[in-house]
Amino acid sequence: MHSFNEGTDWTNLSYLQRGSAVQAEVFALLTKHRVMDKLAAYDPVLVGTVPIGIETPASDLDVICRYADAERFESEVTERFGREIGFGCHRSGTGGSEYITANFMLERWPVEIYGARLPVREQNGYRHMVVEARLLALLGEAFRERIVRLKYEGVKTEPAFVRVLGIDGDPYEALLAIESWSDELLQALQSKEA
């Protein structure tokens, strides 16, 4: 069973050791390659599907970071991971909404490092994961299975959640809109999908 709850400290990867076989594998991989150590100055957090136990074979490992200096972050990420298979680093956005992504392979796993000026706990990737984990804990195994089934069909994570919950509109904004809802309100969401 997947071990996460409201009190999970997502900043400490040890929760992965108590999780599924895939989560334990990811913990070992990130530890072996010292990914979080190499990014320690940037408050790295693993987000996405693996931490909350809804990964598929197409999943990657998303590590989000906060930087103060974009040039320094880009330079250090390139220096520390630039020799990995398939490494590429890109800068997007402008001004305060600028962000940097680096992609590469670590063994069988695609990795994406995402850096922005925003603190990691305020970044959408982190906020989405926290509300998704909460929904999974509240709504149970049948709900999780429906999400995973949609993901196997090629539906992205956030759209899968809002589809099963029966929420209209932009899926990324919809999840942020319900993150402050009480457990009772979240449990009352009715699914429109059979």
Q: Are residues 180 and 130 located together in one domain of the fold?
A: yes
**Close Cβ partners of 124 (under 8 Å, ≥ 6 residues apart):** 172, 176
Rounded to an integer, what is the distance from CA 63 to the centroid of its chain?
Answer: 7
Q: Are residues 31 and 113 located together in one domain of the fold?
A: yes
Q: Are residues 107 and 130 located together in one domain of the fold?
A: no
pLDDT digits (tens, 9 = 90+) for 80-102: 999 999 999 999 987 778 999 99
Q: Among residues of the chain, what percentage have pLDDT more than 90?
A: 85
**pTM over the 0.85 mark:** yes
Q: How many CA atoms lie within 13 A of 117 on its CB side?
A: 12
pLDDT of residue 194: 37
Q: Are residues 131 and 161 located together in one domain of the fold?
A: yes
Q: Are residues 72 and 110 located together in one domain of the fold?
A: yes
**Neighbour-count burial of 96, counting CB atoms closer than 10 A to its CB (0-12 exposed, 13-18 middle, 19+ buried):** exposed
Query: What are the CA-CA distances from residue 56 to residues 22, 61, 109, 146, 183 (Å)?
Result: 10, 11, 12, 13, 27
Total domains present in the chain: 2
Q: Are residues 45 and 114 located together in one domain of the fold?
A: yes
Asked if 116 and 98 count as a contact pair (C-beta separation under 8 A), the reply is yes
Report the length, in residues, of the chain: 194
Report the 10 Å Cβ neighbour count for 46.
24
Last residue of some domain: 80, 102, 120? 120
Asked if 8 and 17 count as a contact pair (C-beta separation under 8 A), the reply is no
Q: Are residues 109 and 129 located together in one domain of the fold?
A: no
Alpha helices per DSSP H over the chain = 14-17, 21-32, 35-38, 70-81, 124-152, 157-165, 171-177, 183-188
pLDDT of residue 6: 56
Strands 61-66 and 45-47: antiparallel
pLDDT of residue 124: 95
pLDDT digits (tens, 9 = 90+) for 12-61: 999 999 999 999 999 999 999 999 999 999 999 999 999 999 999 999 99
